[in-house]
């Protein structure tokens, strides 16, 4: 198995594929939305700190564990410690759940690209243009209020059509394996999206009042975060939430704690320079997030909105703020529509390589464990995830997606991160992994103190501590304890249910393995070279 494993065609292909996975809708959609939720600069500062302290070392750790063991997340974690395999499966299951909804956000972006012609007519509406632009998305998904919508399971056919198209595109990219997808990322890589985000940023900055937005985005204001007021007018301290959201967003954005970087790392050649490559990946990702933040904040303030006008759910933001910007770009309708089209196509290209990377993380894990054909596994994962994703293509799909997104990122991913580091830091020697990270480094070497401090101490303690604090605070200490104002049962099914599923998936897979393989002993990884 190990010797037959494919490898990336070149160092550049790996870096571009990893950047392709990292840089995605999360940068354009989640990051600016979360920054707005916490008033801007405070979130940016904590985010950058979290990236340096946790994101960079953990990214290096996952890639090097994948490369060394030539296995996906569960196998690599099992090599670290036999008892840790379940952590790999928890990450894999969480990634699978994210796949199911990420595909729908991808479908929404495709849908907005197709319907961008609407911006031509809207531009001419004068004072009514902004509300009309903001209503396009809600009308298309059949949920104009963008809320719970009575929990309607009525299908939204427009979304379903785009979703089917999206899944076909995703499958076409990866049908020949992860490594062949390297060809795709060359084209869907950074350049085109960057050019368009750049143009939008210039337009945003040139709008009147945008300076206020920039100030908000770059000036940390922790006082307002600490002394926030909730919906019912009670004083709340949002700092712990901010920290958890920032850490979750670092993981989400770098595509770590989700089986992907293990999988991508397992296709990396032995002479690769992981320390340097991981830095390139992380900083490219940060750059795109900051640029998207600039676009969002300047545009928002340019059109007379403020950070507090934005929905607490980042999802809505991208489909409300960007259309508002598009119709204000020029006074000529078709120019704006054309721009809208190209802009949403750029988001499509940002999204697609992230979407297929999540799918690949899952199929690599499954194929490695059961020694089955990886290409067939990929097809299977796409079909099962495709069917489940229909759930969010209903008229209340937005609410379901919002709930699932909250749990997968606020709790599951953070817990997986804490456990991953706990096992590596305390039941394994971080030095061995560091050696792998620094194997081929030239000028930059990851220092032991940085790596050990992050993996052994900060990650397990901080992640676990804040996660528990947040669960207690959000669900037990205050108010109704219900997320998003949705019914309790929906929180239980799409929130807690998925958390439980993620953490019992390991034992379930192991039981299935025993049954299928009739108790055959699993090969153990030998750490000696
Ligand atoms: N990192 C991608 C983004 O920021 O959009 C999304 C993503 C990819 C999330 C892969 C999760 C994942 F496993």
CA 358 to ligand 1 centroid distance, Å: 7
| Spatial CB neighbours of 90, under 8 Å, sequence gap ≥ 6 | 412, 415, 416, 419, 502, 503, 505, 506
CA 403 to ligand 1 centroid distance, Å: 17
Question: Hey, is 236 helix, strand or coil?
Answer: strand
Does ligand 1 have an atom closer than 6 angstroms to the CB of 27? Answer: yes
**pLDDT band, very low/low/confident/very high, at 313 (cuts 50, 70, 90):** low
Note the pLDDT of residue 314: 58
CATH number of the domain that residue 119 is part of: 1.20.1740.10
188, 245, 252, 315: residue to mutate for ligand 1 pocket, most atoms within 8 A of CB:
252
19, 358, 362: residue to mutate for ligand 1 pocket, most atoms within 8 A of CB:
358
Question: Does any domain span residue 5?
Answer: no
> Is 178 within 8 Å of 6 (Cβ atoms)?
yes
Does ligand 1 have an atom closer than 6 angstroms to the CB of 263? Answer: no
Whose Cα sits closest to atom 12 in ligand 1?
255
User: pLDDT (tens digit, 9 = 90+) per residue, 285-310?
Assistant: 999 999 999 988 998 888 777 777 66
Residue 315, pLDDT > 70, answer no
User: pLDDT (tens digit, 9 = 90+) per residue, 119-156?
Assistant: 999 999 988 898 899 899 999 999 998 889 988 999 99
Report the number of distinct structural domains present in the chain.
1
Tell me the pTM: 0.92
User: pLDDT (tens digit, 9 = 90+) per residue, 37-71?
Assistant: 898 999 999 999 999 999 999 999 999 999 999 99
Does ligand 1 have an atom closer than 6 angstroms to the CB of 103? Answer: no
Question: Does any domain span residue 526?
Answer: no
Q: Look up the domain containing 386 and give its range.
A: 11-216+236-516
Question: Does any domain span residue 191?
Answer: yes
Question: Hey, is 199 helix, strand or coil?
Answer: helix
Question: Does any domain span residue 78?
Answer: yes
Question: Does any domain span residue 226?
Answer: no
CA atoms lying within 13 Å on the CB side of residue 455: 28
More confident of the two residues 339 and 387: 387
User: pLDDT (tens digit, 9 = 90+) per residue, 245-271?
Assistant: 899 899 999 999 999 999 999 999 988
Ramachandran class of 325: left when φ > 0, alpha when ψ lies in -120 to 50, beta otherwise: alpha
**pLDDT band, very low/low/confident/very high, at 33 (cuts 50, 70, 90):** confident
Question: Does any domain span residue 227?
Answer: no
Which has the minimum average pLDDT: 98-112, 127-141, 161-175, 293-307?
A: 293-307
Question: Does any domain span residue 6?
Answer: no
């Amino acid at each position: 198995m190990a010797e037959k494993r494919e490898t990336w065609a070149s160092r550049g292909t790996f870096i571009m594929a990893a950047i392709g996975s990292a840089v995605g809708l999360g940068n354009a959609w989640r990051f600016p939305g979360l920054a707005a939720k916490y008033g801007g600069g405070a979130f940016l500062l904590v985010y950058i700190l979290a990236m340096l302290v946790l994101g960079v070392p953990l990214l290096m750790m996952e890639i090097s564990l994948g490369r060394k063991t030539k296995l996906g997340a569960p196998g690599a974690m099992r090599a670290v410690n036999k008892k840790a395999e379940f952590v790999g499966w928890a990450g894999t299951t969480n990634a699978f759940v994210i796949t199911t909804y990420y595909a729908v956000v991808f479908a929404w972006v495709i849908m907005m690209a197709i319907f961008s012609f609407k911006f031509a007519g809207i531009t001419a509406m004068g004072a009514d243009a902004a509300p009309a632009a903001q209503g396009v998305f809600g009308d298309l998904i059949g949920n104009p209020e963008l809320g719970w919508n009575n929990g309607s399971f009525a299908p939204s056919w427009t979304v379903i059509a785009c979703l089917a198209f999206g899944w076909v595109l995703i499958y076409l990219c990866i049908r020949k394996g992860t490594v062949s997808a390297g060809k795709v990322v060359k084209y869907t890589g950074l350049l085109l999206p960057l050019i368009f985000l750049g143009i939008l940023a210039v337009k945003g900055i040139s709008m009147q009042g945008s300076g206020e937005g920039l100030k908000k985005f770059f000036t940390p204001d922790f006082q307002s975060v600490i002394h926030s007021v909730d919906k019912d007018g009670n004083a709340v301290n949002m700092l712990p939430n901010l920290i958890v959201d920032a850490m979750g967003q670092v993981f989400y954005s770098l595509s770590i704690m989700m089986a992907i970087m293990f999988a991508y790392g397992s296709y990396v050649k032995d002479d690769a320079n992981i320390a340097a490559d991981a830095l390139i990946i992380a900083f490219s990702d940060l750059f795109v997030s900051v640029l998207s933040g600039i676009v969002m904040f300047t545009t928002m303030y340019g059109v007379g909105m403020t950070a507090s006008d934005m929905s607490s759910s980042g999802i809505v933001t991208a489909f409300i703020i960007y259309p508002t910007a598009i119709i204000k770009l020029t006074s000529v309708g078709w120019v704006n529509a054309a721009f809208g089209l190209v802009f949403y196509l750029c988001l499509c290209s940002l999204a697609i390589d992230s979407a297929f990377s999540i799918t690949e993380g899952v199929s690599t894990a499954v194929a490695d464990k059961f020694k089955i054909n990886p290409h067939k596994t990929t097809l299977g994962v796409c079909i099962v995830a495709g069917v489940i994703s229909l759930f969010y293509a209903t008229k209340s799909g937005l609410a379901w997606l919002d709930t699932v997104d909250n749990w997968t990122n606020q709790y599951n991913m953070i817990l997986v991160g804490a456990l991953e580091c706990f096992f590596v830091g305390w039941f394994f020697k971080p030095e061995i992994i560091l050696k792998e990270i620094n194997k081929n480094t030239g000028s930059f070497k990851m220092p032991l103190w940085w790596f050990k401090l992050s993996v052994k101490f900060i990650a397990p303690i901080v992640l676990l501590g804040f996660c528990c604090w947040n669960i207690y605070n959000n669900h037990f200490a205050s108010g109704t304890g219900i997320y998003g104002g949705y019914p309790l049962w929906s929180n239980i099914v799409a929130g807690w249910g998925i958390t439980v599923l993620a953490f019992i998936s390991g034992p379930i897979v192991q039981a299935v393995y025993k049954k299928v393989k009739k108790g055959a002993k699993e090969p153990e990884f030998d750490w000696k070279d």
